[in-house]
Amino acid sequence: MGKLAGKVAIITGAAGGQGAYEAQLFTREGAKVIATDVQTELLEQVVARINESGEQAIALKHDVASEEDWQAVVNTTVETYGKVDILINNAGIYISNNVKDTTLDEWDKTMSINSTGVYLGMKHVIPEMLKSGSGSIVNISSIDSIIGSGSSAAYAASKGAVRSLTKNAAFNYAKDKIRVNSVHPGVIITPMNEHQLASEETKTFAQKNTPLPYLGAPEDVAYGVLYLASDESKFVTGIELVIDGGLLTL
């Protein structure tokens, strides 16, 4: 029996990086996964690999900034599997600009996906979890929500909103046995970070400033998300799980 046997999970941003690894890991641990993303071709490839291995996943096109899309995803999940046990709000974008150089369009786009998407996911999934009598929500934030050295003002602000919203929801729904936690990755080698780590010089700098002698991989985050999604963490809510190779110890 896997750690998520009998569970139904929605994972956003599942077409690559952390989200894809989480979808694969969750199905291996027994969950039925609704994998969503706007990158449908890549998403279909991820889900095809899962299903070819004998596990169970469904791919859905999903703009997390759209309330209609969220309603459709939740409705499909409930119609197919009867419930939602787990929500992983993983979808996000990164635009590298400081406050002075960030355009309003860049700000609005980042906030709509990274923050509003998390709010909408919880808004539409929590009612289903209330019906079931329990649930686990994991919101992917960032160490940029805790420290001030990130190069993107909009990204840091959006992830700070995720951090605060997580605590608010954790407090309000603890009595309903719905747990809400946030995960704060450091430098993780994913497609979203490719532009940041494009040069060997940048990679060397990032590694030099991470106490552990290597950079993070998607699985390093996924196993932390798995813990928070599973019943192993049944007495854990409202926490900030930092997975950064020790960067915040500096």
Residues labelled as active-site residues:
155
**Residue 104 CB contacts under 8 Å (≥ 6 apart), including other chains:** none
Q: Which two tokens stand for residue 151?
A: 């190069």
Provide the pairing of β-strand 57-61 with 86-89. unpaired
**Residue 54 CB contacts under 8 Å (≥ 6 apart), including other chains:** none
Provide the pairing of β-strand 8-11 with 32-37. parallel
100 contacts 49 by C-beta, under 8 angstroms: no
Question: Can you tell me the distance from the alpha carbon of 12 to that of 10, in angstroms, rounded to the nearest whole number?
Answer: 7
Strands (DSSP E) found in the chain: 8-11, 32-37, 57-61, 86-89, 135-140, 178-185, 240-243
- The CA-based diameter of the chain, rounded to the nearest angstrom, is 52
In the DSSP assignment, the letter for residue 216 is: B
Q: Which amino acid is at 169?
A: A
Query: What are residue 60's DSSP bridge partners?
Result: 36
Q: Which two tokens stand for residue 85?
A: 């046990």
